[in-house]
Amino acid sequence: MKTVFSPLHAGHSGQMELVAGAIVPGFEKPSRAEIIKARIENQKLGDILAPEVHDLTAAKRVHTADYIDFLPTVWPQWEAAGKTGSAIPFAWPTRGLRGDVRPGTLEAQLGYYSFDGGASFVKGTWDAIKSSYDVGLTAAQLVKSGERAAFALCRPPGHHAGAAFMGGYCFINNAAVAAQWFRDQGAKRVAVLDVDYHHGNGTQEIFYARADVQVINLHGDPMTEYPFFLGHADEHGAGEGEGFNLNYPMPFGTAWEKWNEALEDACQKLAAYAPDVVVVSLGVDTFEKDPISHFKLTSADYPKIGARIARLGLPSLFVMEGGYAVDEIGVNAVGVLTGFEGR
Ligand code: FKS
Ligand code: ZN
C-alpha 282 – ligand 2 centre gap (Å): 9
Give the pLDDT of residue 279: 99
269 within 8 A of 236, measured Cβ to Cβ: no
What pLDDT was estimated at residue 257? 98
Asked if 232 is an active-site residue, the reply is no
Question: Chain-wide mean pLDDT for the chain?
Answer: 98
Burial class (CB in 10 A: 0-12, 13-18, 19+), 127: middle
Report the pLDDT averaged over residues 212-217.
99
Q: 199 C-alpha to center of ligand 1: Å?
A: 10
**Which residue's alpha carbon is at the smallest distance from atom 9 of ligand 1?**
322
> Ligand 1 pocket, 169 CB below 6 A?
yes
For helices 174-184 and 125-144, angle between their N-to-C axes, nearest 10 degrees: 40
Distance 25 CA to ligand 1 centre (A): 13
* Least confident stretch, 15-24, 143-152, 272-281, 289-298: 15-24
What pLDDT score was predicted for residue 112? 98
